[in-house]
Amino acid sequence: MQSIPYGRQHINQADIDAVVQVLQSDYLTQGPAVPKFERLLADYCGTAHALAVNSATSALHIACLALDLGPGDWLWTSTVTFVASANCGLYCGAQVDFVDVDSRTYNLCPVALERKLEQAEREGKLPKVVVPVHLTGQACDMRVIHALGQRYGFRIIEDASHGVGGRYRDRPIGACEYSDITVFSFHPVKIITTAEGGIAMTNNDGLAERMALLRSHGITRDPAKMTHEPDGGWYYQQIMLGYNYRMTELQAALGVSQMDRLDEFVSRRHVLARRYDALLANCAVTVPWQHPDTYSGLHLYVVRVQLDKIRRTHRQVFDEMREKGIGVNLHYIPVHLQPYYASMGFQAGDFPEAERYYTEAISLPMYATLQESEQDRVVDVLREALGN
Ligand SMILES: *Cc1c(COP(=O)(O)O)cnc(C)c1O
């Protein structure tokens, strides 16, 4: 029997045609597809600006730089995330610290955040940037995090790598109502794909301008932005240190085509999630809890094994599922426990809720083309692996 992965892309003929059309056109990069993709995302989210780049990791990096994060500053993020949410701070020479997660959503816990801010204020170590991560596609408690940002003076980058197509309090994730910048990822396991790719959304004109420069060497051809008189029509000026983080036309064309099916993908994921919820009702697992303010993008469907109800270990359940062809995964190993971060002094016990989550979590297969018969097989194998 074929194994079932935890996530996979959906590519149709329209996607293929869109990419082939770019290959036959004049522009493989810096043509019309990237701005078109950006406009689609900005319109979808109701945001003023969208800056497409070659990955969400790059988007996080230029977002931090645009907010002037640098040496001597602190960036805080959730410890239950992909390493990129933290690494972006280190790229800028800032220091990184973590916040524990909420026991029901596994998102950055606003209560833990507030407690940590009170202490940091006393020690004069308040963060400049906080990166809430919308784990599985469910938005964090952004209103509270935003209010804390106002009180303690930090800026906010939403890492919504899992969240495109989701909503928070009746507005699309990416609207940036409670943040400076929101970042999406278009890696193939995410909700829509551009192969590799990411985007930074913002309503702030200045931040958009800085990010546009940062993604392309810090070079401008706009005489209005030049610091010196232009020499002639060939002239460009580098006015800051930037990178080459540009998205290609091939990627953007794929993204434009995928946007047609974004809502369909997300609603299909919701159908599958409700079906999992029902099928797992009598299993020794805790199914995902959805906060009433949120409509998740549902990138992931994470269950927590109820270890007190079974005679197997978490690892046994996980390994048995893998052996039987179910491509389960674990999102994520808490970042502070990664050897690279542990070498900075973080240790087991620092973030107990996140560490407890790590000992119980399993991501079940979740993607738009997952068939109900495959889902039944996942549940059967899970039941056997749990021994109940
Ligand atoms: C996938 C992911 C990223 C990085 O995305 P890339 O596009 O692969 O760089 C960052 N943060 C989170 C939470 C992710 O899941």
What does the pLDDT look like over 28-45, one tens digit per residue? Answer: 999 999 999 999 999 999
Check whether residue 92 and residue 227 sit in a common domain.
yes
Q: Which of 116, 128, 190, 324 is catalytic?
A: 190
Query: What value, to the nearest 5°, has the Cα angle with vertex 324 and ends 318 and 329?
Result: 35
Distance set, CA 261 to CA 12, 115, 193, 200, 371 (Å): 10, 42, 11, 21, 17
- Lookup result for tokens 């997952």: 370
Q: Measured in angstroms, how far is the CA atom of residue 360 from the centroid of ligand 1?
A: 22
Q: How far apart, in Å, are the Cα atoms of 122 and each of 99, 115, 116, 221?
A: 17, 11, 10, 46
- Checking if the pLDDT of 384 tops 70, the result is yes
Q: Is the pLDDT of residue 370 over 80?
A: yes
Domain extent for 117: 4-258
The answer on 328 and 189 residing in a single domain is no
> In this structure, are 273 and 177 located in the same domain?
no
Higher pLDDT, 228 or 362: 362
Counting from 1 in the atom list of ligand 1, the atom nearest the Cα of 186 is: 7
Q: Which of 219, 238, 258 is the last residue of a domain?
A: 258
- With H, G, I as helix, E, B as strand and everything else as coil, classify residue 214: helix
Final residue of a structural domain among 231, 258, 285: 258
The mean per-residue pLDDT over the stretch 16-24 comes to 98
CATH classification of the domain holding 106: 3.40.640.10
Number of domains in the chain: 2
Do 120 and 152 reside in the same domain of the chain?
Answer: yes
d(CA 82, CA 318): 20
Confidence of residue 46 (pLDDT cuts 50, 70, 90): very high
Q: Measured between alpha carbons, how far is 273 from 264 in angstroms, rounded to an integer?
A: 14
Percent with pLDDT over 70 in the chain:
99
Question: 85: CA distance to ligand 1 center in Å?
Answer: 8
Task: State which ligand 1 atom lies nearest to the alpha carbon of 57.
Answer: 9
Mean pLDDT of 193-216: 98
Query: Are the CB atoms for 187 and 314 separated by under 8 Å?
Result: no
Q: Which uninterrupted H or E stretch holds 88?
A: helix 84-91
Whether 185 shows a pLDDT value over 90: the answer reads yes
Determine the distance separating the centroid of ligand 1 and the alpha carbon of 349, expressed in angstroms: 26
Ligand 1 centroid distance, CA of 365 (Å): 18
Do residue 276 and residue 345 come from a single domain?
yes
Given a cut of 90, whether residue 232 has pLDDT beyond it is no
Query: DSSP letter at 133?
Result: B
pLDDT in tens, 68-119: 999 999 999 999 999 999 999 999 999 999 999 999 999 999 999 999 999 9
Confidence at residue 2, expressed as pLDDT on a 0 to 100 scale: 80
- What is the structure's pLDDT at 61? 98
Is pLDDT above 80 for 214? yes
Q: How far apart are CA 186 and CA 160, in angstroms?
A: 11
Same domain, 188 and 294: no
Closest ligand 1 atom to Cα of 135:
13
372 pLDDT higher than 70: yes
Q: In terms of domains, do 131 and 34 share one?
A: yes
Determine whether 2 is exposed, middle or buried from the number of CB atoms within 10 Å of its CB (0-12, 13-18, 19+).
Answer: exposed
Extract the runs of DSSP E, i.e. beta strands, from the chain.
49-53, 74-78, 95-99, 129-131, 155-159, 167-168, 171-172, 181-185, 198-202, 219-220, 237-238, 285-286, 294-295, 301-305, 361-364
Boundary-marking domain end, from 219, 240, 258: 258
Domain match, 128 and 274 both:
no
The CATH number assigned to the domain holding 277 equals 3.90.1150.10
* 87 and 212 together in one domain: yes
Q: What are phi and psi of 298, to 5 degrees?
A: 55, 50
Mutation choice for ligand 1 from 9, 64, 81, 85, CB with most ligand atoms inside 8 A: 85
pTM of the shown model: 0.97
What is the band of 245 on the pLDDT scale with cuts at 50, 70, 90? very high
How far away, in angstroms, is 197 Cα from ligand 1 center?
Answer: 9
Q: Which atom of ligand 1 is nearest to the CA of 55?
A: 7
Mutation pick for ligand 1 pocket among 9, 61, 82 (CB with most ligand atoms within 8 Å): 82
Atom of ligand 1 at shortest distance to CA of 185? 7
Task: Give the chain's mean pLDDT.
Answer: 97
* Minimum mean pLDDT range among 96-100, 221-225, 312-316: 221-225
Centre of ligand 1 from the C-alpha of residue 228, in Å = 38
pLDDT of 330 > 80? The answer is: yes
Task: Tell me the average pLDDT across 6-16.
Answer: 97
In this structure, the residues whose C-beta lies within 6 A of any atom of ligand 1 are 55-57, 81-82, 84-85, 133, 159, 161-162, 185, 187, 198
Q: Does a cis peptide bond (omega within 30 degrees of 0) precede residue 332?
A: yes
Q: How does residue 227 score in pLDDT terms, banded at 50, 70 and 90?
A: confident
Residues 181 and 72 reside in one and the same domain: yes
Per-residue pLDDT, 388: 66
Is 190 assigned a catalytic role? yes
Alpha carbon of 1 to ligand 1 centroid (Å) = 31
Cβ distance 262 to 249 under 8 Å? no
pLDDT given at position 277? 98
* Domain identity same for 174 and 190: yes
Which ligand 1 atom sits nearest the alpha carbon of residue 85?
Answer: 11
Ligand 1 atom 10, closest CA: 84
What integer is the mean pLDDT of 158-186? 98
- pLDDT band for position 239 (50/70/90)? very high
> How high is the pLDDT of residue 103?
97
Query: Which pLDDT band, with edges at 50, 70 and 90, does 375 fall under?
Result: very high
Domain match, 172 and 45 both = yes
